[in-house]
């Protein structure tokens, strides 16, 4: 139904359901909202998680968005800047 109405479903972390880790619905927009894991709103994301996210954003079939909401400890801005750096590098450069 979402795809038929051109509505994208957010991928959220931490997920309430395993399928909630990936965007769904209409593939024209892929949206991730990351709240910090394992400690919601506080945990920063490690290198491996950000590398995986960068790959997913690059592979998105449509427009891709990502929002960090792990702001209680101030991790959101640092995570967003690290991800932005990865996305401006050549694909695969952030793997090592």
Closest CA to 11 of 34, 40, 37: 34
Strand 24-25, strand 8-9: pairing: antiparallel
Which pLDDT value is given to residue 95? 57
65-72 mean pLDDT: 96
pLDDT of 1-53, one tens digit each? 999 999 999 999 999 999 999 999 999 999 999 999 899 999 999 999 999 99
Instruction: Count the neighbouring beta carbons within 10 Å of the beta carbon of residue 41.
Output: 13
Of the pLDDT bands very low, low, confident and very high (cuts 50, 70, 90), residue 89 is confident
Q: Which CATH number fits domain 3-95: 3.40.50.150, 3.20.20.410, 3.40.50.1980, 1.10.1530.10?
A: 3.20.20.410
pLDDT of amino acid 91: 63
Please choose, from the candidates 27, 28, 31, the residue with its C-alpha nearest in 3D space to the C-alpha of residue 53: 31
Q: pLDDT of 48-59, one tens digit each? A: 999 999 999 999
Average the pLDDT over 76-83 and give the result: 97
pLDDT at 67 over 90: yes
């Amino acid at each position: 139904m979402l795809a038929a109405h051109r509505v994208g479903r957010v991928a959220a972390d931490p997920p309430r359901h395993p399928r909630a880790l990936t965007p769904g619905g209409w593939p024209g927009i892929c949206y991730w909202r990351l709240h910090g894991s394992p400690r919601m709103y506080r945990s920063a994301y490690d290198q491996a998680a950000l590398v995986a996210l960068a790959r997913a954003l690059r592979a998105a079939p449509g427009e891709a968005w990502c929002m960090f909401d792990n702001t209680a400890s101030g991790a959101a801005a640092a995570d967003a800047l690290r991800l932005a750096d990865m996305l401006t590098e050549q694909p695969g450069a952030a793997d090592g």
